[in-house]
Structure 1
Amino acid sequence: MNEPDKIKSEFAIQKSIASSASLLQGDVTVITLLESLAEGVVVINEIGRIVLINTRFSLLTGYEKQEVMGESLNVFLPDGLHQKHKNHISKYFEQPKIRPMGVDMDLIAKRKDNTLFPVEISLSFLNTETGMLGIAFITDISSRKKAEDELKTRNQELDTYARNIAHDLNSPLMGLIGFSELLLDSGEEVSSELQQKYLKIIAESGRNMSNIIKELLVFATMKKKDVPLTRVTMKETLDQVLTRFRFQFESNSAQITITEPMSDCLGYATWIEEIWFNYISNAMKYGGIPPVIEIGSEDQESGFVKYYVKDNGPGIPAGLKAIAFQTNNPAKDKISQGFGLGLSIVKSIVEKLGGDVEVESEEGNGCTFSFYLKKE
């Protein structure tokens, strides 16, 4: 088609679009209905040119109504979908019917500023004296998708945590049962010294189970409520945690160094206690033999306090540090088979308290796990 013919063709298309738009806008009932809908509405002709959009869709996309009239529907689509969608339009007008679009597909629309957002679309059609028109009813489902993604993440965390809890509870429970039965079966044959040893193991097993149940309670409540940030005396909170490790420190000959003074912060002591517990558990589990652990705090110029636990273990390869706090990443198995409460959940707790987490490590030189909370 030569240039003059192209101009004539485009003029005819625009004239037809103007006639269709005028016809719709002249019908008070139709235009009132379209403007009253909570969904965005786009009306197109058979070649995919925009005849009309309602105010709701104008607000969703950032385009003025007159700005897109006569333009291709492609202005609302990601670049890679233009040709594919053109074919869908042709097929729809061959056999028009009322139906949802893209069942079981993730549909995306594009705003004027080129940002994308997820949508749900239903299709309809209208026969007019100027020709058949296609009508799309478009709903922005960004909030729903966000909620679905959060639920998916939550379920992944729950699945991972349930497996870890079952494993972590089983070990101390079997120790408690085994040594209790050993004492019962042996009776007076067991020396006083051996009885003390067995009772100590039983007490340690019970404490370990109590620690796990505390973690479970934190996990169960942290997503359900927001907590007021109050002044936390960190030395007292840390002392509570260290008491829970008394038997483990002794039995593993752990060397614990606390760098004083320990800075205070804003937070929620119950949750912070479990952050410390998780970090120290990892240092005990994956540190050297015997474990050498350094605990301390550093005030930051940003107004935050950095709290850290440094161990003498083998460290984490550089390529795995970035995924240490992720949820359900198979590559985390290269680091360990579980992190107690779970570093991904620790990350969630710290972020809910307005802070951040970090891991520093050189392979062969241990790890330093840190969390940052506001000082004031």
Structure 2
Amino acid sequence: MNNGSYNVLVIEDDPVDQRAFRRFVKGNGSPYNYTIAESVAEAKSILAAERFDIVLSDYLLGDGTVFDIFNLKTDLPIILITGAGDEEIAVKAMKSGAYDYLIKDLEQNYFKVLPATVENAISRKKAKDALRESEEKYRTLTENINIGVYRNTVGPDGSFIEANPAMVRMFGYESKEEFFAITVADLYQNPDDSTKFNEKLLQERFVRNEELPLRKKDGTPFIGSVSAVAAEDGGGAVIFYDAIIEDITERKKEEKERERILKALEAKNKELERFTYTVSHDLRSPLVTVQGFISMLQTDLEQNEREKAETDLKYISNAATQMDTLLSDTLQLSRIGRVANPPEDVPFGEIVHEALEQTAEQIKSSGAEISVADDLPTVHVDRMRIAEVLVNLIGNSIKYMSDSVSPKIAIGHHRKDKEAVFFVKDNGIGIDKNQHEKVFELFYKLDKNSEGTGAGLAIVKRIIEVHGGRIWIESEKGTGCTVYFTVPVVRTN
């Protein structure tokens, strides 16, 4: 063996051609570290024992042909060196895996192009190995990631050319074979979306993070984020699409939940601002009264006006009582949702009965006629809190009775949009439409001279909201009032 840059196996059984090769290497200083084999069998033995970069082989060998060398599956670049007139064999050899071929001529001019041919073959082999390694890494990556990777033909009903396991799993199929039997349109909840996406990709050639409504094999809907690129041929025509897809259904749910929480927090902050303002405003009123009458009390005491001093003390006491009531109602409102009884399944009729017992004296003294529906459902609530709601609503109906008609209060429920809606309805004086929202504000009073702090309906609203329900009023001045609310209902078969 001669020292050189490339290890070359020369398979040649003709001594003349062997000598010619030796002279060529020696005379040109070619960077070949070569070994000569005279037969297929010898070549096979040498290849099993030594490492080579390239094989140069004659067509006809002592015990076979160059095609026997191809059958050894060496993965080495093979250059066929054959006699003149063997072009047909050379073409066949190229189809069988030869990297190139050279035609022997009497003047041995083929040695002039041999170095470039060898260099080109080895470079191509290195490029091929690098590509194979890259493809193997890519294949390993796509086989193991949880993101779907696929290739499909052009068109809304295109067929799949390739898909990784994650893609097959994502859509609920058992195997690639089963997955490849469907079309692209089969993945969409609405096939028209497949047409639109195909048109967009044809026009833009690249689409990133497109959110599409897709469906699994069993029809389960989900949202997929797709990024795709259109592959073109030499003429610029699109021949297929390569794409990746990620199931972002949970992410979208989390985004919606985060948005809901942020909106709720925003609403709570606004509610806290209103609450703080209302409390500070309404507590200031009795405080101003106290301060004013303390000053008057000092003056009256200095002037020894005993009767006036007693009147001053009475006003101070009333203002203190009012402040205590305001503080108690404020504390009660703040405790709702933080201090509560565990919710339980209870017939709504039982809660109504408890509320009527608590308001029995008011009902009797007012002469109100009470009617309760028979078909009230079972609810899942904090029993005491909902009874408190009913007591408050019944009390308001009695407080705002009309003098011109016999007072009537009806308690019942109806179904609306698959939701159970409860109501307390009266034939009292009614409420102007512009006050339907205001009455639920803390310390707001329809009648400024009436008893109480005006916190009742604010507390009622808070109790209903803690139960995940809604509350609203339908009323007009002089036509009575109906308060509607919703709470969780126990489903029955």
Same fold (TM over 0.5): yes
Distance 1:209 1:271, change over 3 A: same
Residues 74 and 80 (structure 1), Cα distance of their counterparts in 2 relative to 1, 3 Å cut: same
Distance 1:313 1:147 in 2: 42
Distance 1:275 1:310 in 2: 16
- 1:173, 1:205 within 8 Å by CA — same for their partners in 2? yes
Shift of 1:85: 2.6
Q: Give the alignment of 1:94-133 within 5 angstroms.
A: 101-102=209-210, 107-111=211-215, 117-119=222-224, 121=225, 123=227, 133=242
Distance in 2 between residues matched to 1:170 and 1:133, nearest whole Å: 64
Residue 89 of structure 1: aligned partner: 201
1:335 pairs with 2:447: no
Structure possessing the higher relative contact order (Cα contacts under 8 Å, 6 or more residues apart): 1
Report the residue type matching 2:428 in the other structure. Answer: N
The match for 2:428 is 312
Quote the Cα distance in structure 2 between the aligned partners of 1:36 and 1:265: 50
C-alpha separation in 1, matches of 2:431 and 2:180 = 58
Distance, in Å, in 2 between the alignment partners of 1:46 and 1:265 is: 56
CA spacing shift, 1:229–1:199, aligned 2, 3 Å: same
> Does residue 179 of structure 1 match 2:297?
no
What residue in structure 2 maps to residue 328 of structure 1? none
Q: Which amino acid aligns with 1:71?
A: T
Q: State the partner residue of 2:333.
A: 215
- 1:175 offset after TM fit, Å? 1.6
Q: How far is 1:148 from its partner?
A: 2.6
Would the alpha carbon gap of residues 67 and 74 (structure 1) be closer, same or farther in structure 2, given more than 3 Å must change?
closer
Specify the SS of the correspondent of 1:227.
coil
Change (3 A) 1:235 1:298: closer
Cα 1:351–1:63 shift into 2, 3 Å: farther
Alpha-carbon contact 2:409-2:427 (below 8 Å) kept: no
Change (3 A) 1:241 1:58: farther
Alignment of 1:76 with 2:193, yes or no, is no
Which secondary structure does the structure 1 equivalent of 2:479 belong to?
A: coil
Contact 2:371 2:409 in 1 (8 A): no
Please, which of 247, 271, 279 is the counterpart of residue 138 of structure 1? 247
Cα distance per residue 1:43-79 (max 9 Å; x no partner): 4445563525667666766678746756245852656
Q: CA deviation at 1:162?
A: 2.0
Q: Deviations over 1:67-111 (max 9, x none)?
A: 6756245852656755653343235536x8xxx515xxxx34133
What TM-score results when the alignment is normalised by the length of structure 2? 0.45
Q: Within 5 Å, which residues of 2 pair with 1:1-376?
A: 37-39=145-147, 43-45=151-153, 47=155, 49-51=158-160, 66=178, 71-73=183-185, 75-76=187-188, 78=190, 81=193, 84-90=196-202, 93=205, 101-102=209-210, 107-111=211-215, 117-119=222-224, 121=225, 123=227, 133-141=242-250, 142-188=252-298, 189=300, 190-193=308-311, 195-219=313-337, 227-229=342-344, 234=351, 259=370, 267-269=381-383, 271-272=385-386, 275-276=389-390, 279=393, 308=424, 310=426, 312-315=428-431, 335-337=436-438, 339-340=440-441, 341=458, 345-351=462-468, 361=475, 364-371=478-485
Do 1:229 and 1:266's aligned partners in 2 also have CA atoms closer than 8 Å?
yes
- The alignment of Structure 1 onto Structure 2 pairs a total of residues equal to 306
8 A Cα contact 2:231 2:241, kept in partner: yes
Question: Contact 1:118–1:145 at 8 Å: present in 2 too?
Answer: no
Structure 1 residue identity aligned to 2:227: L
- Decide whether the 8 Å contact of 2:355 with 2:388 is kept in 1: no
Is contact 1:35–1:55 with CA below 8 Å preserved after alignment? Answer: yes
- Structure 1 stretches lacking a partner, 5+ long: 1-26, 243-248, 318-332
What is the CA distance between 1:185 and its match in structure 2?
A: 1.3
The 8 Å contact of residues 411 and 425 in structure 2, kept in 1 or not, is answered as: no
TM-score, normalised via structure 1 length: 0.55
Question: Whole-Å Cα distance in 1 between the matches of residues 479 and 189 of structure 2?
Answer: 51
- CA deviations on 1:131-180 (whole Å, 9 max, x unpaired) are 66222233223531442353145225414422441343133211232112
**Helix, strand or coil: the match of 2:438?**
coil
Q: Cα RMSD over matched residues?
A: 5.6
Distance 2:461 2:193 in 1: 36
Larger radius of gyration: 2
1:218: how far off? 1.8
CA distance 1:187–1:240, shift in 2 (3 Å): farther
Distance 1:183 1:271 in 2: 39
